[in-house]
Structure 1
């Protein structure tokens, strides 16, 4: 999953702090922003200090620093991390002024690759064991940091998973419904059974103020990935095929059968548009659930009531959004996000050692135990995670046939965080047909 900085700005309070523990979102309450504070200037090679800039703060920054403590003590390298909520603009400004940090943690691949093209970032093959990384990382993650010529400029240091379906364990089991559907079509049949019981199968909501629509983009990306596979998904996000390609139209129409089908979603289209996305999961955990299924990233548990969070392993169930029968046949694909570490100070061996550590399968034990973090490595010791739900999500990710980064985060900003959102809102609100919505985004794609 990745909730981008714009989306994160919509969130506040304790629930959001918990929710985005895995997606990297909230600022440290003490930070001043704009790259101010410790580590705002890159260190000199060999000075014993390595500076890192990222956009996660608060408890997440605490977890990151805790995971670095033993490494710093053993290596003698001081790591100074700065959180900045305007990360993309700050890193561009600082790099342009010759004041880049040694390392930056990118929440979106597009900005990373753009800066790599400008010559600011070192290829990871210059200092990391690329084949070793590929052998332990979730399949497909490195592709998100790979330029068109095949050069890789970043390595994942944190994972977020979006392709998840949540349900209330007790009520779901009492209904006798299958929690391991093999295909999406089977999941739709389960939805029909739930509907026959008198409640809505799904709860969904997209409202996020000026960022309303990003949940809808995630839905369409999930369908494209499952129905047509990662190759078509890549062509679509890179605009190698038109945004309104017939395969994408087929995916949006299929999504419409789910979200617009009578009785499928609690409250229907207008409820989807008018309800805060953070509230979508709540009807599942009322005393008498009004819906049974909710698709969202692993951050969503942070929005659950405190009494549910205190007993999540017994209250909250999760399974992977299943593959599409007749679609991608190589196994179940997973969509998500993460933070990609990139090296700016190409001459600093100490910075290279830090990069090697934070992108390795050995990184993150302390953060995992504290909660709010997932390793992008299949070989990470899942017993270190603080709860069973996190272990289940980690297993879902590690068992995926392929991983793909959130598509809207790969597209130009005016599309992925603009016209795509708008088109999905107009589509779910029946202001535009599937064809009209896709045509509008295609017309908006920058030359």
Structure 2
């Protein structure tokens, strides 16, 4: 059984326990001898107004107003440029929470940001990470939804690769007891991105056929399940780059359903394989870009939607391209990112997900598939794992408490 499959057989109802697989000793150690001064996230607030407070909590950082965080040497670079150092501990502003992190997720955007290839929103700050799970240790003025000691998970514009993170109360949810800390950190970015692509941008309707590229990625795994179990899709097709991932999609994510189909794009043509089953699809969610553009247009039915979440193969098409199907089939092509959305949009999305899908996650109908849990001291190793496209499901970090 694969590592991902073994992990995913664990029940969602299991109490908060660690999935940590046997790992080598920490390859990245805390840099206690180097103090790196990075402007506090609170100073970068554009839409996140903050107020300075005297901290009334203890931290494991080396000084009272400092905390440990993952830092990128020289501001950008390869995975080996990551190390743990010290930065200022942020303070919660109006309607914000200071959360002591237990776990946080790894996303493809973290790699792009580390490389200097991702335009972060102005309120993000320099520290990586957009999703977290932890315990509230301080609340800002006007906060009414949470109190100190509450267990929460949620989204931030940045700063989750740290011992403490500031989050707006409208972008957090109570951590369900049915989810482990690792699972909770694996929900926000992937599942909200997938929900947004399918239901808000892609107009998914019951009975539609859907194609999800990068089906074994964190977003892909979420999208396949949401399309089936929330959207009522008729058939769900997915692509992935290895036979192991194809098996994972069919047997683990799809649970053997005859509605789930997966194609190894390295050995098969997904357009040909899909047309053996149906005449086309109504919605495509794509991370790849130029390499799939023409085939995507051919596969879409009349009034279909093509939603781009990334351009991993590049955004510039190779040579002349027939875009006639856009008119002939009245197709809609959209690009969307979640991180660039304002607080109101993200909050509405989060609470719609809570109302329409979270209960199914708690019940186990929708599963959070964890590829591996790394101690955050192995952040370099984890980034390299994702860069090599080895993950099936979510990569999560844990911070020793």
Same fold (TM over 0.5): no
Which structure is higher in strand share? Answer: 2
Which structure is higher in helix share? Answer: 1
Higher relative contact order (CA 8 A, sep 6+): 1
Give the TM bin, normalised by the shorter chain. Answer: 0.3 to 0.5
State the TM-score, normalizing by the size of structure 2.
0.34
State the TM-score, normalizing by the size of structure 1.
0.32
